Amino acid sequence: MSQLGPIDYAVISQALIASAREMGVKLIRSAYSTILREARDGSAGLMDRFGNTVAQAELIPMQLGPIGETLRACLRRHPVETLKEGDFLINNDPFEGGQHIPDVFIFTPIFVAGRAGKSQLVGFGASVAHHLDLGGGAPGLNIHASDVYQEGIRFPPSKYDFQRDWNGGSFERLVTANVRVPDLTIGDFNAQFAANAIGVLRVKQLCDRYGADKVEAAMKEMQDYSERRVRAAIAQAPKGIFYGEDAVDDDGLTDEPLVVKAKVTISDDSVEIDFEGTCGQVKRNLNCPYSSTLSAALSCVKSVLTSPDIPYNEGMARPIVIKVPYGSLLNPRPPAPVRARMIPAYRVFNAVMKAMAQALPDRVIATGFDCTTAFCLSNLGEKGYSVYLEIFGGGYGASRGADGCDAVDSPLSNCSNAPVESLDIDYDFFRIVGYELAPDSFGLGARRGGAGFSRRCEILKNDVQLAVYSDRFRLAPEGLLGGEPGQRGYCRVHRANGTVEELKSKAAIDLAKGDIVEMFVGGGAGFGRVEERPDAMIDRDLADGLLTRDPRPARKLAAE
Amino acid sequence: MRVGVEVGGTFTDLVAVEGGKVVVTKVPSTPKSPDVGAFAALTASGIDLARISDLGHGSTVATNAVLERKGAAVAFIATQGFRDLLFMQRHDRRNIYDLFYAKPAPPVRRKDCFEATERLRADGSVEMPLDEAKARTELIPVLKSGGYRAVAICLLNAYANPAHEKRLAALIAEALPGVLVTCSHQVAREFREFERASTTLLSAYVQPVIDGYLHRFESKLADAGFTGRFTVMQSNGGRLPAEAMRQSAITALYSGPAAGVVGATRQAARSGYRDLITFDMGGTSTDVCLVQDGRPSLASESEIDGLPIRTPVLDIVSVGAGGGSIAWVDDGGMLRVGPQSAGADPGPACYGKGGTEPATTDAHIVIGTIRPGAFLGGRMTLDGDAARRAFEPIAARFGLGIEQAASSALQLADANIVRAIQLVSTERGRDPRDYALVPFGGAGPLHAARIAEELGISTIVVPPNAGVISAYGLVASDYTKFDAVTRKMKLDDAAAAEAGKTFAEMRARLAAQFADMKLPGDLDYTHTLEMRFVGQAFEVGVEVPADRLGSLDGAYLAGLFADAHHRTFMHGATLDRAVEIVTLRVGATLPIGTIPQLDREKLAARAPEQAKIFHGEAWLDCARHTAEALASGQKIVGPAVIEGYTATTWVPPGWTAELDPADNLILRRS
């Protein structure tokens, strides 16, 4: 911090964080598709000119983690020296720094007047949005894809000129021609460009006020600061080698669980996580690209080791080394399909958490339902496609001090629900008829897991398609230190004729008028033995109808 | 005589205005029963209650009822299948990396939530009729046995058609007289069920508390011979008669900060300033608001304890930077200020009540802007050595002098306030340089100039008695009520005409309500259309000028919307997409007529003294004036300090201060 005083640093760094937050707010508030505007499945941030994350709008942990990887893949093709004002970089390639096809990352370079009147690139405005539909084999979600080509249009790390190629230009027309709901998709792209423009403007204003050198010095110091705080936290943790393991139910084709193994080595001031022993890549979309694996592991370590106020940036990642075997579920070879990568990513999170639980039992949580359930209804009417996609979480795992959070999005994501009244306005082919907490869905313990929930949709027209991927229909979340497991999920179709069909966790099916789809996501696992649960907490859940059976008489019986 | 009594967390302030005479009184608050402190202030002021024509009151009763969970025993009723609405919330987390996250807890338990068998569609048509028999035989008996004092009803799509809510409310009222029933269409007739349910529940929860409090207050007033009008402040910046407020309790939340904004706006207007950024810097936080052409900006939603409230409120942003905010070094080695505060007890180190951590007030003592012997007009003596000692650890840590450390802490507090101002200005597409800064609260005028410099603002208006502006706002504010209706329609000429018609209906409804409140007179109306591009989920509010109401067309409204959208989001100016109207909002205001004048309280004047102030990197010699000694039109060239009874103003080098005929101190950057 040679030329940067403590005050300048504090002021500039807070201003950069505020700018990233503003970018995120405006990205969401001006978006068009339900997945971005209501579910808020998008993120934004500011990067330095080396491609490192400096500050982020804290929206979706999964997308935030590896933005640096995604940008650096672009910069390898299009080095900083070759960029000019008006360019933008784009990438959604799962095999070159991206995650899955729907998450499109856009980067806008920030140029300011530098020395001798030459313009100087100081960083990038970055945004990522989950796009509702980018083509591929089915609207919104193609669960049958056997390779990445069937999952939608792929933008390899590339560079375009905004004026020339967007706003009616060739690139915009290429995108428009390849997606099913171009109005919403192009609108969401515009929201991304605008969010980036806001970030660019704010950084320029800061450079005008404090000078580009100071702003760049602050960007560097912010990363060093996060690194110091993470290393300080690691130094306090018990040292040693710890193992954790969890599994995805199956690959949608066979009944084999897909095992994820993590070996976590905590040394003096760094942590190494090795996924050796994890199963090989699979034929359906449950493969997890390298960036996603990295993101899930980092999110877990950050959540466990550091207080939430430490800014997430590239410095955070420096003390953490991650090794993933190539060709495995967690680092697949192209052209593996990867659409449902959140599911294996959650098992990465769970396996690392279980390993860290041995070292730091007071700072972890038991396994939650921890799954992204993507639930997609679509209908092709006279006016074109109507696509509804929503993301469901479940119950959180319990911890030493608290019950798990009820009915909330899972730790690697943070999607909101769509208001039922807004769905009633926007869609005429289905209606939500129930949205309820699920009693007894959590694992009991000294602290119980969070409750899961169900959402029921009544189908109002014929020729409606349901596509869903979920997990934990077979393998329940495991408790910690004697806590009980959480309940497993299910998806059922109550046909208009009275029959009930039980779906697999990865399924696509045709629906007709009068059918009711019941999507149930389970609760989190408990922490500690239920015998240690305070009476007041049991009584409260009984009175509230969240618990329908008193665990205490059984306990007394067992003791006799 | 007009009297405002504002009950704050620490102090209860009173401002009495009659002709050109102003009485200002400050007494300690009595948090357990705020009316005691309020009457203590009335007693201390020596005012004869029989002579008060207009008594404006603001208190934290509603806010505290929610924060301390001391509202009524309330039951909640939703549409069948949606009993858990208040617990499901929006399925997201405020802090994404917090493993131990808990959702904001509504003041109701799951066992108190029930369902009604019915369902409406988005257009208000009936999908399933209300099952009245079931309500009578199943629902009402459990409400009765539950012993609830209040019932909140929020049915799906009731904003489009309130018939089911009304019918259910009537059934309950009939069976359970004495139980207060609140329906969602009454408090927030807008879509998004969770936000509307939360508003309805909170309203039902605080209403009996407000009702009881105001009833008690009114009878005490009557006993003391008061015969004037008793009014209560709302979070939207307007007042309501206490009687009406007892029916509309949700708008009483956060009335204190709103009163301050109104007071500052009114007092600045006396000097001709109408485009303002107000900032109220108190003990623990600073509240910031942008005022456009004399009207504070409104937000359509706020929250308390993490729970949304869907009623219009002044768009006030709060940051944890006040006189008590503590400077500290975090474990990554970064200097930070707030949000932790020393509060009033123990208070900053200089209070000598056992506090040892350095607060912003201590920093002011170290750099010389506050004199230990002259705090609150000399009524409180501070310990200057304790203030210096408190900053020693930070000075040592960064290798700075003690005054440099203190100055750094102040700069950080300023930076926090600057960010709050950017939130209400630049982030909303407004350039702060087009506004005058109006600081108030005890600490505001000390920080104003440096904050103005950071933002490029060149004019500052310091109101007299800056420490009691909220109480003044109580008697300077108008009577205000809002009405809003969600009516989604694609924008074209027919929709524009329909909007005009709906606006007229809403005006008639509001006029009837004012008549019911026995408030005669011509109402001023504001008309806002919440619009969005088709496909978006968030609306942008666009105010429709009164002179265009008779001749609305689609293209005109689309143009207004595109401008507003582009100002905030930096895209969408081209209008290549269809636009839709979502919600219509009308505000009705009954002006109070002559605005009471807030003048300086006349204290004994002293001649200017010499002082040393640490500014930038050095000690400066400057003059220390007393506000009371200034003559109208007299120019003070910075650096200078101007001391008043409730607040002190810092005029840095490069600024001049001049007292104007309205008793405002105008600071200008040369």
DSSP A257-314: -EEEEEEEEE-SS-EEEE-TTPPBP-SSTT---HHHHHHHHHHHHHHHHS-TTS--SH
A241 vs B626, higher pLDDT: A241
Query: Mean pLDDT of all residues in chain A?
Result: 93
Reported as a single tens digit per residue, the pLDDT across A55-95 is 998 777 787 778 999 999 999 999 999 999 999 999 999 99
Chain A residues near residue B300 by CB distance under 8 angstroms: none
Does A401 sit within 8 Å of B100, measured CB to CB? yes
Q: Which residue has the tokens 């009763």?
A: B61
Q: Give the Å distances, CA to CA, from A69 to A199, A270, A390, B395.
A: 20, 20, 27, 40
User: Is the minimum CB–CB distance between A435 and chain B shorter than 8 Å?
Assistant: yes
User: Is the minimum CB–CB distance between A270 and chain B shorter than 8 Å?
Assistant: no
- Region B311-324 average pLDDT: 90
A-to-B residue pairs, Cβ atoms closer than 8 angstroms: 200
* pLDDT band, very low/low/confident/very high, at A1 (cuts 50, 70, 90): very low
- Region B120-144 average pLDDT: 97
- What the block records as the tokens of A188 is 């969401």
Q: What is the spatial distance between Cα A428 and Cα A168, in angstroms, rounded to a whole number?
A: 31
Does A30 sit within 8 Å of B536, measured CB to CB? yes
User: Is the minimum CB–CB distance between A362 and chain B shorter than 8 Å?
Assistant: no
Q: What is the DSSP letter of B111?
A: G
User: Is the minimum CB–CB distance between A417 and chain B shorter than 8 Å?
Assistant: yes
How far does the CA of residue A283 sit from the closest CA of chain B (Å)?
A: 32
pLDDT value, residue B598:
75
Q: What is the spatial distance between Cα B103 and Cα B100, in angstroms, rounded to a whole number?
A: 10
Q: Are B273 and B457 in contact (CB under 8 A)?
A: no
Does A30 sit within 8 Å of B571, measured CB to CB? yes
* pLDDT band, very low/low/confident/very high, at A308 (cuts 50, 70, 90): confident
Q: Where are the beta strands (DSSP E) in B195-281?
A: 229-233, 239-241, 276-281
- Region B593-618 average pLDDT: 78
Reported as a single tens digit per residue, the pLDDT across B510-564 is 999 999 988 888 999 999 999 998 878 788 889 999 889 988 999 999 999 999 9
- The candidate with the shortest Cα–Cα distance to B667, out of B644, B649, B646, is B649
User: Is the minimum CB–CB distance between A536 and chain B shorter than 8 Å?
Assistant: no
Q: What is the spatial distance between Cα A245 and Cα A277, in angstroms, rounded to a whole number?
A: 10
- Quick one: closest CA in B to A223, which residue? B332
Does residue A96 carry a pLDDT above 90?
A: yes
Does residue B309 carry a pLDDT above 50?
A: yes
Give the helix ranges, DSSP H, for A451-550: 535-543
Q: Are B263 and B470 in contact (CB under 8 A)?
A: yes
- Region B346-367 average pLDDT: 91
> B43: buried, middle or exposed (CB in 10 Å: 19+, 13-18, 0-12)?
middle
Q: What is the spatial distance between Cα B416 and Cα B286, in angstroms, rounded to a whole number?
A: 9
Angle between helices A6-29 and A182-210 (to 10 degrees): 160
Does A419 sit within 8 Å of B193, measured CB to CB? yes
Chain B residues near residue A434 by CB distance under 8 angstroms: 81-82
- Select from B83, B84, B145 the residue whose CB has the most chain A CBs within 10 Å, as the one to mutate to test that interface: B84
Give the rounded distance of the alpha carbon of A435 from its chain centre. 23
B605 vs A295, higher pLDDT: A295
pLDDT value, residue B574:
67
User: Is the minimum CB–CB distance between A545 and chain B shorter than 8 Å?
Assistant: yes
Does B156 sit within 8 Å of A420, measured CB to CB? yes
Which residues face B540 on adjacent strands? B531
Chain A residues near residue B159 by CB distance under 8 angstroms: 421
Give SS3 for A537: helix
* pLDDT band, very low/low/confident/very high, at B604 (cuts 50, 70, 90): low
Q: What is the spatial distance between Cα B193 and Cα A273, in angstroms, rounded to a whole number?
A: 44
Does residue A508 carry a pLDDT above 60?
A: yes
Residue type, A537: M
Q: Which residue has the tokens 């997201």?
A: B92
A28 phi/psi in degrees, rounded to 5 = -70, -45
Give the rounded distance of the alpha carbon of B271 from its chain centre. 23
Q: What is the spatial distance between Cα A185 and Cα B40, in angstroms, rounded to a whole number?
A: 63
* pLDDT band, very low/low/confident/very high, at A34 (cuts 50, 70, 90): confident
Does residue A384 carry a pLDDT above 90?
A: no
Q: What is the spatial distance between Cα A387 and Cα A376, in angstroms, rounded to a whole number?
A: 7
Query: Mean pLDDT of all residues in chain B?
Result: 90
How far does the CA of residue A25 sit from the closest CA of chain B (Å)?
A: 10
* pLDDT band, very low/low/confident/very high, at B605 (cuts 50, 70, 90): low
Does A232 sit within 8 Å of B565, measured CB to CB? no
> A84: buried, middle or exposed (CB in 10 Å: 19+, 13-18, 0-12)?
exposed
Q: What is the spatial distance between Cα B53 and Cα A40, in angstroms, rounded to a whole number?
A: 52
Q: What is the spatial distance between Cα A72 and Cα A57, in angstroms, rounded to a whole number?
A: 20
Q: Round to the nearest angstrom and report the end-to-end CA distance of chain B.
A: 41
Does residue A456 carry a pLDDT above 50?
A: yes
Q: How many residues does chain A have?
A: 560
Q: What is the spatial distance between Cα B250 and Cα B198, in angstroms, rounded to a whole number?
A: 11
Reported as a single tens digit per residue, the pLDDT across B436-486 is 999 998 889 999 999 999 999 999 999 988 888 988 999 889 999 999 888
Q: What is the spatial distance between Cα B582 and Cα B580, in angstroms, rounded to a whole number?
A: 6
- Region B168-190 average pLDDT: 94
Give the rounded distance of the alpha carbon of B566 from its chain centre. 27
How far does the CA of residue A334 sit from the closest CA of chain B (Å)?
A: 31
Which residues face A266 on adjacent strands? A240, A271
Nearest-CB residue to B419 (from A15, A33, A310): A15
Q: What is the spatial distance between Cα A546 and Cα A301, in angstroms, rounded to a whole number?
A: 32
Q: Give the Å distances, CA to CA, from B386 to B323, B354, B364, B412.
A: 16, 10, 12, 21
How far does the CA of residue A441 sit from the closest CA of chain B (Å)?
A: 15
ipTM over 0.90: yes
* pLDDT band, very low/low/confident/very high, at A2 (cuts 50, 70, 90): very low
- Region B115-142 average pLDDT: 97
Q: What is the spatial distance between Cα A215 and Cα A114, in angstroms, rounded to a whole number?
A: 12
pLDDT value, residue B256:
86
CB count within 10 Å of CB B16 equals 25
Residue type, A478: E
Q: Is the dihedral of CA A443, A444, A445, A446 positive or negative?
A: positive
- How does strand A430-437 pair with strand A453-459? antiparallel
Give SS3 for A12: helix
pLDDT value, residue A557:
54
- Region A152-167 average pLDDT: 96
* pLDDT band, very low/low/confident/very high, at A297 (cuts 50, 70, 90): very high
- How does strand B325-329 pair with strand B640-643? unpaired
Contacts of A32 (CB under 8 A, 6+ apart): A183, A184, A187, A188, A191, B533, B535, B536
Chain A residues near residue B101 by CB distance under 8 angstroms: 396, 405, 408
* CB contact residues (below 8 A), chain A span 218-257, against chain B: 225-226, 228-229, 232
Chain A residues near residue B100 by CB distance under 8 angstroms: 365, 399, 401-402
* pLDDT band, very low/low/confident/very high, at B27 (cuts 50, 70, 90): confident
Chain B residues near residue A405 by CB distance under 8 angstroms: 93, 101-103
- What the block records as the tokens of A86 is 């008006």
Contacts of A419 (CB under 8 A, 6+ apart): A38, B191, B192, B193, B194
* CB contact residues (below 8 A), chain A span 6-45, against chain B: 6-7, 9-11, 13-15, 18, 22, 26, 28-34, 37-38, 40
Q: Are A285 and A329 in contact (CB under 8 A)?
A: no
Does residue B649 carry a pLDDT above 90?
A: yes
- What the block records as the tokens of B23 is 């009485």
A128 vs A560, higher pLDDT: A128
pLDDT value, residue B264:
95
Q: What is the spatial distance between Cα A98 and Cα A326, in angstroms, rounded to a whole number?
A: 16
Q: What is the spatial distance between Cα A408 and Cα A390, in angstroms, rounded to a whole number?
A: 13
Chain A residues near residue B95 by CB distance under 8 angstroms: 58, 308
Q: Are B383 and B372 in contact (CB under 8 A)?
A: yes
- Select from B76, B88, B91, B109 the residue whose CB has the most chain A CBs within 10 Å, as the one to mutate to test that interface: B91
Does residue B573 carry a pLDDT above 80?
A: no
Q: Where are the beta strands (DSSP E) in B491-634?
A: 524-533, 540-544, 579-590, 609-615, 618-626
Residue B181, H or E segment = strand B180-183
User: Is the minimum CB–CB distance between A133 and chain B shorter than 8 Å?
Assistant: no
Q: What is the spatial distance between Cα B294 and Cα B315, in angstroms, rounded to a whole number?
A: 14
Does residue A193 carry a pLDDT above 50?
A: yes
Q: What is the spatial distance between Cα B119 and Cα B165, in angstroms, rounded to a whole number?
A: 11
Angle between helices A6-29 and B402-424 (to 10 degrees): 10
Contacts of B332 (CB under 8 A, 6+ apart): A225, A226, A228, A229, A232, A310
Share of chain B above pLDDT 90, in %: 64
Q: What is the spatial distance between Cα A419 and Cα A411, in angstroms, rounded to a whole number?
A: 21
pLDDT value, residue A4:
80
SS (H, E, C) B11-69: EEEEEEEECCEEEEEEEECCCCCHHHHHHHHHHHHCCCHHHCCEEEEECCHHHHHHHCC
- What the block records as the tokens of B406 is 């203190």
Reported as a single tens digit per residue, the pLDDT across A318-361 is 999 999 999 999 999 999 999 999 999 999 999 999 999 999 99
How far does the CA of residue B403 sit from the closest CA of chain A (Å)?
A: 14
Range in A100-114, B200-214, B598-612 with the lowest mean pLDDT: B598-612
pTM: predicted TM-score of the whole model, two decimal places: 0.90
Nearest-CB residue to A425 (from B335, B419, B488): B488
Chain B residues near residue A545 by CB distance under 8 angstroms: 110-111
Does residue A560 carry a pLDDT above 60?
A: no
* pLDDT band, very low/low/confident/very high, at B244 (cuts 50, 70, 90): confident
- Region A212-216 average pLDDT: 94
- The candidate with the shortest Cα–Cα distance to B331, out of A236, A320, A1, is A236
Which residues face A82 on adjacent strands? none
How far does the CA of residue A282 sit from the closest CA of chain B (Å)?
A: 30
